[in-house]
Amino acid sequence: MSIWHVTGGERLRGSLRIQGSKNAVLPVIAASLLCSSETELTNCPRLSDVEAAMDILRYLGCQAERDGDVLTIGSASPSRCDIPRDLMHRMRSSVIFLGPMLARFGEAHVSVPGGCELGPRPIDLHLQALRLLGAEIREEPGGIVCQAARLRGAEIPLTLPSVGATENAMIAACAAEGETVIYNAAREPEIETLQEYLRLLGAQISGAGSPVIRVNGFTPREHAGLRIPPDRIAAATYLCCTACAGGDVDLLDAEPDHMAPVLETLEAMGCAVTARPGHVHIGVSGRLRAPGAVVTRPYPGFPTDAAPLLMAACLKVTGPAVFIENIFSGRYRHAEELRRLGADITIRGPLAMVTGVESLHGANLTSPDLRGGAALVAAALGAEGPSLVYDDGHIRRGYDGLEESLRGLGAQIWCEGGERY
């Protein structure tokens, strides 16, 4: 358990560099199983999820080393094709290893990823995609066995543009004979990063960023080196922290094109936002106003991961702010905690209404999940007096040096206990 000590009331000033993207690096680490020799990834954030993914690779018999922000992975001779329950459960998105294991070994034995803090996290689309590629899948009590003597290219229509299912299908299709076409594919920037990496490994793959992705064979190459792009959700987090506390902040290494709906919403609230490639500036003074309805949707819509942060930024706005969550049913668990700060929030199913209050006061809070936890920290920065955020390891799943970055901007924040990565 870590305890985040936050004393609100300080305006944020200065600049910070945005970490590499968690959601981009995780599928690339899993896909490195396809590489017949060495992968070198730079700009890798220090996160518990990244360490868990590296531990899975080590368990499978790969070499996985970190030196600063560089991960070096040697996957010349992995030795096993199962992932035990404790490793599967350390990382929410461990299901992303299914496609790579099937592609590399023709076999994968994994325990079923449990429910997660955001509500049920089904994997039916992942399994359906792998079945269409020719895998036989048996769901046993507590586990899944996937086998395929040979994977065959297939047409894969996804009923939802699931990010993880698209990634699993792309990776497994690299080992299939013939063409695979994924329809209604997720279009997130992380899908484009995965495509870039698979191309470096020798895949003929195109279409990432559009709803149709084609994979057409694989000619293994010896070495792949990739720089992980900046984390658009971490960037949104620091922008929302500034919207909560007020101030003037420059984000370096941010990619504004990947976060257009977040920037537009903050502008609509009265924040001064200027952006160019690699750089975003936000200036916040005075009371902000409620934006139009914030409706989460798959990319390029408003990202569900940024919605809790934006909710924190709306607690003191003028007028009512409306949120509609379309991706995860358990997304609002931070709302009850925000109320302890004096926030006025009503939840009705997927709808949340925030009525802005004049001021917030410090309180003791419990972090419910990764982005919810970050939202509590952001809100506490805009509250008067000290707050404590009790966090059971959620925040370090996704943020590399959150407290140092915020302290660098003048925030009063420190973190007690909990493991560092």
Q: Quote the least distance from Cβ 386 to ligand UD1, whole Å.
A: 30
Q: Can you tell me the distance from the alpha carbon of 280 to that of 254, in angstroms, rounded to the nearest whole number?
A: 6
- Smallest separation (angstroms) from ligand UD1 to the CB of 187: 11
244 is catalytic: no
**How crowded is residue 336: how many other Cβ atoms within 10 Å of its Cβ?**
15
Give, as one character, the DSSP assignment of residue 106. Answer: S
CB of 414 to ligand UD1, least distance (A): 27
The span of 118-126, 243-251, 279-287, 405-413 binding ligand UD1 (CB under 6 A) equals 118-126
Q: Is 296 exposed, middle or buried (0-12, 13-18, 19+ CB in 10 A)?
A: buried
Q: Decide whether 117 or 337 has the Cβ nearer to ligand UD1.
A: 117
Q: What are phi and psi of 226, to 5 degrees?
A: -145, 140
Q: What distance in Å separates the CA atoms of residue 186 and residue 230, rounded to the nearest whole number?
A: 19
Identify any residues that bridge with 110 across adjacent strands, giving them in sequence order.
83, 144
Cβ-closest position to ligand UD1? 164
Q: Which stretch binds ligand UD1 (CB under 6 A): 64-72, 120-128, 313-321, 388-396?
A: 120-128
* Binding to ligand UD1 in span 307-326, by CB under 6 A: none
**Among residues 327 and 345, whose Cβ is nearest to ligand UD1?**
327
Separation between Cα atoms, residue 206 and residue 196, nearest integer Å: 9
Contact between 48 and ligand UD1 by CB under 6 A: the answer reads no
Identified catalytic residue from 81, 116, 240, 241: 116
Residues 59-98, interacting with ligand UD1 (CB under 6 A): 93
Contact positions with ligand UD1 (CB under 6 A) in 268-307 = 304-305
Q: Could you tell me how many residues of this chain bind ligand UD1 (CB under 6 A)? A: 20
| Pair 97, 56: CB distance under 8 Å | yes
- Cβ 91 to ligand UD1, closest distance in Å? 9
Q: Which residues contact 236 (CB under 8 A, 6 or more apart)?
A: 259, 262, 303, 305, 306, 309, 310
Q: What part of residues 152-171 is at the interface with ligand UD1 (CB under 6 A)?
A: 160, 162-165
In the bound state with ligand UD1, the residue whose beta carbon lies nearer, of 12 and 186, is: 186
- Rounded to whole angstroms, the Cα distance separating 44 from 250 reads 21
Cβ 288 to ligand UD1 shortest distance, Å: 25
CA-CA-CA-CA dihedral for 3, 408, 240, 269, to nearest 10 = 140
Instruction: Put residue 246 in one of left, alpha, beta given phi > 0 → left and psi -120 to 50 → alpha.
Output: left
Is 26 a binder of ligand UD1 (CB under 6 A)?
Answer: yes
Please give the single-letter amino acid code of residue 224.
Answer: A
Interface with ligand UD1, residue 328, by CB under 6 A: yes
Tell me how far apart the alpha carbons of residues 387 and 295 are, in angstroms, rounded to a whole number. Answer: 29
Report the nearest approach of ligand UD1 to the CB of residue 163 (Å): 4
Question: Quick one: which segment of 52-60, 71-79, 100-108, 115-123 binds ligand UD1 (CB under 6 A)?
Answer: 115-123
Part in contact with ligand UD1 (CB under 6 A); list of ranges 50-58, 78-86, 104-112, 121-129: 121-129
Nearer residue to ligand UD1 within complex by CB, 12 or 130: 130
The residue (of 195 and 387) whose beta carbon lies closer to ligand UD1 is 195
Q: For residues 188-207, which are near ligand UD1 according to CB under 6 A?
A: 190
Least distance from C-beta 188 to ligand UD1, angstroms? 7
Nearest to 85 by CA among 60, 58, 113: 113
411 and 389 in contact (C-beta within 8 Å)? no
Cβ closer to ligand UD1: 306 or 379? 306
Token pair of 306 as six digits: 């940024």
Per DSSP, the three-state class of 168 is helix
Shortest distance, CB of residue 112 to ligand UD1, whole angstroms?
Answer: 12
CA nearest neighbour of 55 among 20, 94, 23, 25? 94
Nearer to ligand UD1, 126 or 340 (CB): 126
Q: Which of 18, 35, 108, 123 binds ligand UD1 (CB under 6 A)?
A: 123
CB-nearer residue toward ligand UD1: 218 or 328: 328
110 and 134 Cβ atoms separated by less than 8 Å: no
Q: Can you state the percent helix, strand and coil of the chain, rounding each to 5?
A: 35, 30, 35
Catalytic residue positions, numbered: 116
Residues near ligand UD1, by CB under 6 A? 23, 26, 93, 121-126, 160, 162-165, 186, 190, 304-305, 327-328
